[in-house]
Amino acid sequence: MPPVDTIIVADMLTALRGIRREDGYHHDVRRVLEDAVGFESVGSFPTLALQLLRDRVESQPSHHRRRTLRFSVTGFVRPLSGMDRHGAARELIADVDRALAADPTRGGAAVLTEITDHTIDTARHESGARVQCVVQVVAHDSIGI
């Protein structure tokens, strides 16, 4: 069986790739990457990047441990006709929140998924907005003996 963090990342990527207008979301996400380096130059928008920021491990009795994984979901969006950058950014954040809230157990691999922070940056982007959602996932796994 793959490590729990691998299962969680795969589930989150699948959830984010499912952001489509036909399913009631505000946007059709064009690309979801597992690395944020240079993602704004990809050229198809909106684009999302999932990045593991921190993995805190707490040992528990009987070879079990509690893991708190902290992720950043960073996105870049350009507004559709008739909308401003802030509106497009708020809609993308709502889409990310909804996609990740649909299964807080990440397919049974986690006990909790919560979005803890949102950031919108339009200052450096004339044609669009950069958004960031910080996501915390709590899971339990066993240490092999």
- Answer whether residue 28 shows pLDDT above 90: yes
Find out whether 63 and 142 touch, Cβ atoms under 8 Å. Answer: yes
Q: Is the dihedral of CA 92, 86, 31, 139 positive or negative?
A: negative
Q: What is the pTM of this model?
A: 0.89
Task: Output the six-digit token pair for 95.
Answer: 């889409």
pLDDT in tens, 48-88: 999 999 989 888 777 788 899 999 999 988 887 788 888 99
Find out whether 80 and 28 touch, Cβ atoms under 8 Å. Answer: no
**Domains in the chain, start-ordered, CATH in brackets?**
4-142 (3.30.70.1700)
Distance of CA 120 to the CA centre of its chain: 15
Q: What share of the chain is helix, strand, coil (3-state, %, to 5)?
A: 25, 40, 35
pLDDT in tens, 94-105: 999 999 999 999
